[in-house]
Amino acid sequence: MTPPPDGAAEFLFIGNATLLIRYGALTLLTDPNFLHRGQYAYLGKGLMSRRLTEPALAASDIPSDLDAVVLSHLHGDHWDRVARRRLDHSLPIITTPHASRRLQGVHGFSRATGLPTWHDQVLVKDHSQVRVTALPGRHAPGRWQKLLPPVMGSLLDFGAPGQPPRLRVYITGDTLMFPGIHEIARRYPEVHLAVVHLGGTRLPGGLIVTMDALQGAGLVKAVRPERVLPVHYDDYAAFSSPLSAFLEESRSPDFPSAVVHCARGEHVTVNAQGVLATP
């Protein structure tokens, strides 16, 4: 398979929050979710949600040279039973300390690494490097956080070993707007692409536990990435805020970023200067 152009990353949107990312010799998978339309994702505490869409790839289609999984948290629509059964148990998984303990102790993924917030792990292959830094996220407000597993955002700094990063990607994870987002903006004032988890996931009783369109726009205005790629929308019955609502917010005159359009099953290639290729 031909690698992306020098300094660029190629993103394949598989569905929900699942992306296959290629940079140079490196291949990463985010939040693997391969359930089919009509199947249920189990979210713990008796919660579940029905999938409304088909993933663009099956687990068996994932390249055999996959280098690592970046997992925002341990929820059934981000790490499902298909991924648990079908992915190589020796695969490196970069995730939260909570998820790494369960993945190692219960599921047998021996190379799951838990990163505390602001800590990082570096992956190198040939002349390509990515530094994955765990960023703060908050999956629910106040005392409701105890219902849901801890979540992290991820900063992916792509480049060559020993050199400054050439491409910086922020993946929000399933978070709400909270003060930690402004701390991310302060520490990392230059983000080339933000992958924003949306959907306005609604629990029974009406509690919203992922960003809806308005909160997603608020995050973009706080972090001010050059471009934004929306994901985690319209895939599950628990989602209450469609992609169309976020796109409407993005048309506001004070929206600071260009929206990268990438439907399920499509590719987009991005470098620090802009979008190189779309379907």
pLDDT of residue 174: 97
Is residue 193, in this structure, part of any structural domain at all?
A: yes
- The domain of 105 spans 8-273
Over residues 90-98, the mean pLDDT reads 97
Over residues 205-229, the mean pLDDT reads 96
The pLDDT mean for the chain works out to 95
Over residues 43-71, the mean pLDDT reads 93
86 pLDDT above the threshold of 60: yes
Give the tens place of pLDDT for each residue, 229-241: 999 999 999 999 9
Q: Rounded to 5 degrees, what are φ and ψ at 258? A: -85, 135
pLDDT of residue 2: 80
Q: How many whole angstroms separate alpha carbon 196 and alpha carbon 181? A: 12
Question: 251 CB contacts (<8 Å, ≥6 apart)?
Answer: none
Provide the number of structural domains found in the chain: 1
277 pLDDT above the threshold of 70: no
Residues above pLDDT 70, as percent of the chain: 98
Structure tokens at 4: 């992306």
Is residue 2, in this structure, part of any structural domain at all?
A: no
Is residue 206, in this structure, part of any structural domain at all?
A: yes
Is residue 279, in this structure, part of any structural domain at all?
A: no
Is residue 120, in this structure, part of any structural domain at all?
A: yes
Model confidence at 140, in pLDDT bands (50, 70, 90)? Answer: confident
Over residues 81-107, the mean pLDDT reads 96
- Give which of 52, 5, 7, 13 is closest to 29, Cα–Cα: 13
Give the tens place of pLDDT for each residue, 160-195: 999 999 999 999 999 999 999 999 999 999 999 999
Name the more confident of 199 and 42.
199
Q: How many whole angstroms separate alpha carbon 113 and alpha carbon 99? A: 9
CATH code for the domain in which residue 251 is found: 3.60.15.10
185: three-class secondary structure by DSSP: helix
pLDDT of residue 98: 96
pLDDT of residue 278: 57
- Give which of 217, 218, 243 is closest to 231, Cα–Cα: 243
Over residues 212-218, the mean pLDDT reads 98
88 pLDDT above the threshold of 70: yes
Model confidence at 63, in pLDDT bands (50, 70, 90)? Answer: very high
Over residues 207-218, the mean pLDDT reads 96
pLDDT of residue 141: 84
Element (H, E) at 29: strand 26-30
Model confidence at 206, in pLDDT bands (50, 70, 90)? Answer: confident
pLDDT of residue 142: 82
pLDDT of residue 47: 83
Model confidence at 279, in pLDDT bands (50, 70, 90)? Answer: low
204 pLDDT above the threshold of 90: no
248 pLDDT above the threshold of 80: yes
Could you tell me the pTM of the whole model?
A: 0.96
